[in-house]
Structure 1
Amino acid sequence: MFNDSICTNAPASTATDAGIAGAGVLLSFIITAFVSLLLSAIIILHEARRKSEAKILRKLLLSFSDQQVLTGIGIQSIALAKMGTMVPYHFFLVWMLSLLSTATHVGTLLALVADFKRDWVLRWLRQFFMFVNLCLSLVSGVFVLLSVRKNMAEFPRWTLPIACVWPLSTTTAPSNAPISIAGTIAVMTGQVIFFVVGVWYLHVKERKWVKVIQMLGLVVLVGIGAGAAVRVILLSQAFGHPNVPLKDSGERDWSFGQLLPLLLLLLPLVSSVEILRGEMKIPSPMVDDCIPLVDQNDKQGVRTSFQPNPFWGSQVSRFSKY
């Protein structure tokens, strides 16, 4: 795929990529992952103690999880598509973000398993997303494993594209290579185990060990998420010290592209407020087909089903005379 000059003549530095390693992108993944894990823990503990469903929290968690899974799949697909130009530094950050995505959707599965079991479409859709995320993460893990074996994270190979792991010969590995290789293999194995257990968990009818699985699984996922987040923070240019020379400080700059992922985190919160008002405050507009949508008193022009605001509103519509 590449000529000799691409994989032998490494440039002195590499360009930054704020679309992958920018401060806003990294923060959006980290915040979404830990908010989702926190919501999963609250839901599991609440339903274990009170035997009732936390409806609003469940829908909020599902929104965060769907957002994280789709962005995780998207960013991994982009990384693999750009492997001819992306350096190992950026590729490894993408792989760490995929671990945050995995921790998020598995934690959501633990908390919302009853919702997925009730609807076969939701259940198989969740399994499909889990499978796609697993395949992409395993392929990325192979690249990361080979880059460690071939010492692509050190000078002079650290600015070569990640695709050069195939034609390059193996050199003297760094002293920490065995630990890195073992950790990479452990992460890949753990992802396969989580996928198999998750699929089994979606289909098993025995409820005897559900609470134990939920508690232990959540503890493990919090540890995985924390480890991935710390690794991203320490390695990225946005918050730490990258192990590759970069041409500029573009990954630290707060542009519109960095603010947008953080602003999108507000969408599930706005949706939760709408759900809260819709389910707990506002009465149903139609009880059955025999009752009109709006009850109206013809003499006074009052719509009795209209709820005014509590500060200065009135039940009398300003437009009723029209």
Structure 2
Amino acid sequence: MRVLKCADFNPDCTAKEQVVNANPDIAGIGVILGFLCTTCLAFLIAFSVLFLDRYEKIVNFFRKYVVRNTDEYCLEEKPIKYWRSPVFWSKVLSKNLLAFSDTQLLTGISIQFTAMLQHCKLSVYHFRVVTDLAFLTTVTHLLAVVTLRKYFVDNPWINLPRIFFMLGNLALLGYTSYVAYSYDLVELDLSSSLACFFKSERPRLRAAFGGKWAALLIAAIGGHATVIIAMYILSDKVLKKIKDKWWFWIGTIFRTWIIAPAYATYGIVMAGRSLRKTQALGTASVAIEGSETEWGFGQFLPLLLLALPLFAGWESFWEEKNWDKNLFSGSQRPSTVNVMQTPKSPNLHQQSTRDNSVAERTIESSGPSPMGTPRLRSTSHITISPHLTPMSTPRIPVSSPVATSELTPPLPELSPIASPQLTPPVGPPQRPRSPPRFEERLPR
């Protein structure tokens, strides 16, 4: 049973080189530039992060095999500021790359949904444009998944919504690419109405499953599948075991440095060459009635959406820089590796050994209180005045151990095991208060 059909539409499917109505919501200049700029920026950021994460290894490899320098480069020994280190910029750019990927993923799904809803009204030409833009979306997201693989594997449930959207994008891309690259099998051209494809006999999958779209689709599915398997199927024990295998490292190198660059480069070049044959970026391959180069709200919005990832990168930069400033202000800068190992939230319960020992000796010497709480007693000599004026306030002193022992019966001492260990309050020790004036001793 066919899901997509155009029974109410009767276009002329035998005509060739027809005039196509302009559709700026799909092939407008702002829409196409937004997709291209996002993918190109994500490409540059992704390989910058890959380089920064392996900075020491790359420098040592260059020293050893190119300049023949036996001295090993160690970033930890370099006295540089944290915000100038590769670790700092890797963190900032990683968040920026993730924001670009999320933005491109949502816009790619939305434009494919639009094409599926209007499939009977679109031309084959505009449906091809949608497929090219969807490929750019897949390129951007695959770069993010490969570059930030450790983040995705370490946080599977945080990234679960991204995985759902990613699978939806791949499913839509599989169908749209099948239609966009097999229209010639049913004797249609780019100017034909897409309704002719859905009204005719669909080409067999085996005949359509060939060419560049199939290769790109298989590479995209394979790149995403490896990360999904590591996130939700393989356990931590299995991942630790396979990391020591030689084939794991060969697969990692092949995926990171061969598949991802080749797929991204080919996808950008292929989509760029195809999009140059549009009215927005050059000369359209079909005759178009109307303009797709006029600027309006629908053209400014995709470009303004680029500001969201840029804002995320700017915010991430100052968050990392201010954290480094607040954490190490007034102290000597540690190494970059020690910075990364230091927790961001300082321990509020740290105390010196000297303060703890003094407090413990005071508690043990005073003995426990009736409620089981150690009693802190002052050594000052304070008594209660027997004569109180009407406006005066009685003083309730904390007397010395000698006076207290005469007024209250002694309590049995608890064993060291039963005595609770309390942490003394944080702060500088206070001097004991001197006895107030005009006080008298109680009669014994």
User: Normalised by the size of structure 2, how large is the TM-score?
Assistant: 0.57
Task: Name the counterpart of 2:268.
Answer: 226
Deviation string 1:9-50 (CA, Å, 9 cap, x unpaired) is 869422111111111111111111111111110111111124
The alpha carbon displacement at 1:69 in A equals 0.7
Task: Name the counterpart of 1:168.
Answer: 200
Task: Name the CA distance, whole Å, in 2 between partners of 1:4 and 1:264.
Answer: 36
The alpha carbon displacement at 1:181 in A equals 5.5
Distance 1:183 1:273, change over 3 A: closer
Task: Name the counterpart of 1:271.
Answer: 312
Task: Name the counterpart of 1:293.
Answer: none
Task: Name the counterpart of 1:256.
Answer: 297
* Cα contact 1:16–1:247 (8 A) shared by 2: yes
* Cα contact 2:33–2:303 (8 A) shared by 1: yes
Task: Name the CA distance, whole Å, in 1 between partners of 2:55 and 2:278.
Answer: 41
The alpha carbon displacement at 1:100 in A equals 0.6
Task: Name the counterpart of 2:130.
Answer: 94
2:106 aligned with 1:77: no
Task: Name the counterpart of 2:221.
Answer: 192
217-226 or 101-110, which deviates more = 217-226
Aligned-partner residue type, residue 225 of structure 1? G
Task: Name the CA distance, whole Å, in 1 between partners of 2:113 and 2:8.
Answer: 24
Alignment match of 2:94 (pick from 43, 58, 61): 58
* Cα contact 1:36–1:104 (8 A) shared by 2: yes
Task: Name the counterpart of 2:46.
Answer: 40
* Cα contact 1:15–1:247 (8 A) shared by 2: yes
The alpha carbon displacement at 1:201 in A equals 5.2
Task: Return 5+ residue gaps in structure 1 as ranges.
Answer: 171-177, 291-322
Aligned length: 279
RCO higher in structure (CA 8 A, sep ≥6): 1
Distance 1:197 1:220, change over 3 A: farther
Map 1:1-322 → 2, pairs under 5 A:
1-3=6-8, 5-8=10-13, 12-50=18-56, 53=87, 54-153=90-189, 158-160=191-193, 162-168=194-200, 182-200=211-229, 202=231, 205=239, 206-207=242-243, 208-209=248-249, 210-248=252-290, 250-281=291-322, 283=326
Task: Name the CA distance, whole Å, in 2 between partners of 1:180 and 1:232.
Answer: 20
Task: Name the counterpart of 1:308.
Answer: none
Structure 2 residue matching 1:6: 3-state secondary structure:
coil
Structure 2 residue matching 1:122: 3-state secondary structure:
coil
Q: If you compute each CA radius of gyration, which structure gives the higher value, 1 or 2? A: 2
Task: Name the CA distance, whole Å, in 1 between partners of 2:315 and 2:142.
Answer: 26
* Cα contact 2:95–2:313 (8 A) shared by 1: yes
Task: Name the CA distance, whole Å, in 2 between partners of 1:38 and 1:193.
Answer: 22
Distance 1:188 1:148, change over 3 A: farther
Distance 1:192 1:115, change over 3 A: closer
User: Normalised by the size of structure 1, how large is the TM-score?
Assistant: 0.76
* Cα contact 1:16–1:251 (8 A) shared by 2: yes
Task: Name the CA distance, whole Å, in 1 between partners of 2:9 and 2:42.
Answer: 46
Task: Name the CA distance, whole Å, in 1 between partners of 2:27 and 2:271.
Answer: 13
The alpha carbon displacement at 1:85 in A equals 0.2
* Cα contact 1:32–1:265 (8 A) shared by 2: yes
The alpha carbon displacement at 1:286 in A equals 8.6
The alpha carbon displacement at 1:3 in A equals 4.6
Distance 1:259 1:168, change over 3 A: same
Deviation string 1:28-75 (CA, Å, 9 cap, x unpaired) is 111111111111101111111248641111101110010011111111
190-199 or 54-63, which deviates more = 190-199
The alpha carbon displacement at 1:7 in A equals 4.7
185-194 or 129-138, which deviates more = 185-194
